[in-house]
Structure 1
Amino acid sequence: MANWVSVFLEELKNISILEWVGVAFGVAQVLLAKANKVALYPTGIIAVLISIYIFITAGLYAESILNLYYLVMSIYGWWFWVFKRTAAPLPITQAAKSDWRTTLMIVLGGFVLLYLALRYCTDSTVPVMDAFVSATAWAGMWLLAKRKLENWVLLNISNAVAIPLLFYKQLPLYALLTVFLFVVAVFGFFEWKRILEKK
């Protein structure tokens, strides 16, 4: 345990300013989203752009592709907030069997495609974990867009694998940000469950 802590503290000393800035904007985005403030979108866009660069540099190519998706969704979310805010949101529901079939197809199809691309078209040293993190996050984001309770489960499966992957790739701040997101997703699950049970 003491050895792990000393390695972690040593890694913290070597963190670039850019990583600190990227993680700070990522934390700010989550806090602004929780407070329901439109500033979450420009903050998130900055966080994602920095993350894409850092993940490419670290050889986490599937994570970079995942962040490109987040970039598109942030731009769309910002536009929707400004121009379509009066539209009624989808209600929170539980995933049906058809939703689970689609979720499974996204996870399996995404994993296979990403793994093959990472394995044969890049110099990735972690194609299995990188592909798995992104494929499960894609599925979670699809469930989130449909306002399904189980989105939090898929997102946290992704987070649970991403945390050790980010530590392994010597990105301890991003690993800690992912721990933070894991905790937020746990609270999100129980909050949505409470809302669903009120209906």
Structure 2
Amino acid sequence: MNDPLTLFGLVHTSLLEIVSFALALVMVVLNIRQSPWAWLFSITSAALYAVVFYDSKLYGDMSLQFFFIAVSLWGWYQWLFGGVSHHGVLVSRLTSKGWLYSGLAWLFGFVAIASFLRLFTDTDVPHIDAFLTSGSLVGQLLLSRKKLENWHVWIGIDLIYIGLYIHKNLYLTALLFSLFVVLAAVGLRTWKKSLANQFAEVIN
């Protein structure tokens, strides 16, 4: 399923990457709509992408997929039963302390992952892989708690990922992340409206 093939005579890819691509795209659309079903697509897509990234020697990204699976299970629960009323978490903003903790977590993750990749793997992109992997962990955690700022993180991360995947000849995945940037911008706008509506309901 991960054998190489050429799409439209231009893009070198594999059936596994194509399926992963489609599932991930549906996942983001469902995230924008705040549908809990997004997490099911997240789990499936992550499992398939773990194989794709292993073959491309993107070990940080491969490991990230297993974390995504674990966080997706937690996020699924949060969106369905989290919050004070246990009816699911609502869209909210990060506090100043939340920004600080997120930044420190990103930095700590980067140092730890980069050290591991340099010492124990044969990847040729340990630092950028570590930076993006750590940032993705932060973004996924913010998404699971419906923090509006998760979209800011994903926009920045996805823009850099495009270049990395082109470097690794994962052109279909690079295209996917180009679409992710657009969808993240849509998600940011949509969730801002949702937050404004929540605020209006509280006032009324």
Settle same-fold status: TM greater than 0.5: yes
* Structure 2 counterpart of 1:191: 190
CA RMSD across the alignment: 2.5
* Structure 2 counterpart of 1:4: none
* Structure 2 counterpart of 1:91: 90
CA distances 1:10-57 after superposition (whole Å, capped 9, x unpaired): 761x31222112212222333444566665444333321110011011
Larger helix proportion, structure 1 or 2?
A: 1
* Structure 2 counterpart of 1:127: 126
What SS is found at the alignment partner of 1:15? strand
What SS is found at the alignment partner of 2:186? helix
* Structure 2 counterpart of 1:69: 67
Mapping of 1:25-64 within 5 angstroms? 25-34=23-32, 39-64=37-62
What SS is found at the alignment partner of 2:92? coil
- Superposition deviation, residue 73 in structure 1: 2.7
When residues 123 and 11 of structure 1 are mapped into structure 2, their CA distance, relative to the original with a 3 A threshold, is farther
* Structure 2 counterpart of 1:101: 100
In 2, Cα distance between equivalents of 1:29 and 1:143: 16
When residues 118 and 186 of structure 1 are mapped into structure 2, their CA distance, relative to the original with a 3 A threshold, is same
* Structure 1 counterpart of 2:21: 23
TM-score normalised by L of structure 2: 0.81
* Structure 2 counterpart of 1:3: none
In 1, Cα distance between equivalents of 2:39 and 2:95: 30
In 1, Cα distance between equivalents of 2:43 and 2:193: 30
In 2, Cα distance between equivalents of 1:193 and 1:36: 12
Instruction: Specify the code of the residue in structure 2 equivalent to 1:142.
Output: L
Contact map agreement 2:78 2:88 (CA 8 A) in 1: no
- Superposition deviation, residue 134 in structure 1: 1.1
Contact map agreement 1:44 1:74 (CA 8 A) in 2: yes
Instruction: Specify the code of the residue in structure 2 equivalent to 1:134.
Output: T
- Superposition deviation, residue 146 in structure 1: 3.1
Question: What is the total number of aligned residue pairs between the two structures?
Answer: 190
CA distances 1:104-129 after superposition (whole Å, capped 9, x unpaired): 11110010011111111110101111
Overall identity of the aligned pairs, in %: 27
Instruction: Specify the code of the residue in structure 1 equivalent to 2:17.
Output: E
Instruction: Specify the code of the residue in structure 1 equivalent to 2:13.
Output: I
Structure 2: runs of 5+ lacking an equivalent:
1-6, 200-204
CA distances 1:60-109 after superposition (whole Å, capped 9, x unpaired): 11111211111123334556678x48832333222211101101111100
* Structure 1 counterpart of 2:115: 116
In 1, Cα distance between equivalents of 2:114 and 2:30: 34
